[in-house]
Structure 1
Amino acid sequence: MSKLFPVQEIGSLAKPKWRTKGLRQQLSSQDLSDAEEWAEKLAIQDFHDRAKNILKTSDDRERAKGVLELSTLYGLRLFETAGIDNDGVGGEQQRIEMYEHVIKGVQGMNLLGHVHSFDYKYFNKGVAQSKISRKHPVYVPEFLDVKKYAHRAVKVPITGPYTLVDWSFSGYYIQKQQTSSPKARKIEAKREFLLDIVEQIIRPEIRDLVNAGASWIQIDEPAVTTHPEPQEMELFVEAWNETVKGFSCKFSDHTCYPSEIGYKVLAEYAPKLDKCDHLA
């Protein structure tokens, strides 16, 4: 992109009703009437063939796959029609929610239940019960689907390590600390947990994406500006720099929902972020 201020797709779109229902149960022609109307607006040429396959299949997995592919295609064409300067991943139609989507792929994490995030949003908070490791790839299957339909290079948003750790209970990592000070124990546990997330989860995800052809990774870190204390910001910088080390792709940061001084503090620390092409 050569524009000074490109118009970017940042992340998620609201999920249409037929996408949400179609993952849980059989759809009817009436359910897809809204999709048919938008197919004409977005020039989805093979909508009727796709809809026919979704409606006739009795296999839950096949139906879910068809629904997710179609909603991803709609997201991509919507952004293109709107004149956005980059292709994202179709509005993250294949993701549950930015935190849970990743944590479900982490061995050693246990989801405890939903807690309030912001506005009317909730997320399923997890706890580290043992040293973590990766169960399976999280982002590559979605990226491979997107690649089939994208007309331009794709920017892949991923949830950053600082946010994943900050929104989790440290559990195992707290219990293994030996220092007597509760405050020192907490910060050391967070740092160890953070670097494990980087090494065991995030870097392998980026490596797989790059190997599959991804050239731009957006790291989403909404949690960072809720902790503008210097010690927390240094943890964020350390985790970022460990995350991007050795990769040749483009990186950018997306941070939202700051405290009153959040963006000001982020601006102060941004020059310390290696390979960070821009902030959004």
Structure 2
Amino acid sequence: MKVLIAENDPDLFAALENDIKELGHEIVSANNSKEAWEVIQKGEVRLVFIDRTMPEMDGIEICRKTRHEIQQEKSKNIYIILITGKDNKDDILEGLSAGVDDYLTKPIDFVELKVRLQNGERIIQLEDSCIELSSYDRLTNLLKRDKILELLDEEIHRGWRENRPTGVILADIDYFKKINDTYGHFAGDMVLAEVALRVKNSIRLYDKAGRYGGDEILFVLPNCGVDIVKLVGERLCRSVNEKKIKTESALLDVTITLGGTSSDISSQTSRDNLISACDKSLYLAKEQGRNRVVAADSTQIPVK
């Protein structure tokens, strides 16, 4: 884990650096509050040791600024440990009120440093686990709608920077309403969960799949042009229809229909345009008989 040490006392900095490195962490250093704030803004670190008495903007003010200006924008927490004078109760209370997670008093004891650092790591890991769990749909174990859209945005922008396309597929379970009406919603849930499992096992490790709507699944495929998108879509079709899905009341033949597209690098296609293009492709695939994929460049799909 990268740990920021924001400390303007060179002797104390050297001692902290040595101790924290000994505990297996990579150090990012800041000798003043401006440097510390720049590192925090970049999101390079998850754990910060900062001195109360930093010049210009002290440690408590940096903590307050971090909580107000950065944490509201980022989902992942930054764990902040305030370094203060021995038994300075007012500093400790002010720091905790500003959002400091823990504190160390000078002179710093290595055992205490180790324990507080380990506590910080444990809390960060727990928070990350909670964030990870909250990102997934409980029935399908696919990413939730907000998360898959967030990842699609990130991948589109990465594609712009690296001059490569982003493939997108929107899939829909054929006659899903009829399955629910005929066999019940519990059977429908079993079908949806099994379809999600099959398609998730059919994509690359770095591809992403999320539950976009009731029975709609959105796929984000980095570095995939239209030809690859079509091949992926065909593989997803086969993964679902090659074997019947067992529910408590019936053994069902289930198929999916997919609409796919790929970003146009030259025009920096937006997320909404890509999804709209997928929607149009999906409509065309259904018109052609379902259980298939239609994929076209986002600029070449006719408006219905």
Q: Give the TM-score normalised by the residue count of structure 2.
A: 0.26
Q: Give the TM-score normalised by the residue count of structure 1.
A: 0.28
Between Structure 1 and Structure 2, whose CA radius of gyration is higher? 2
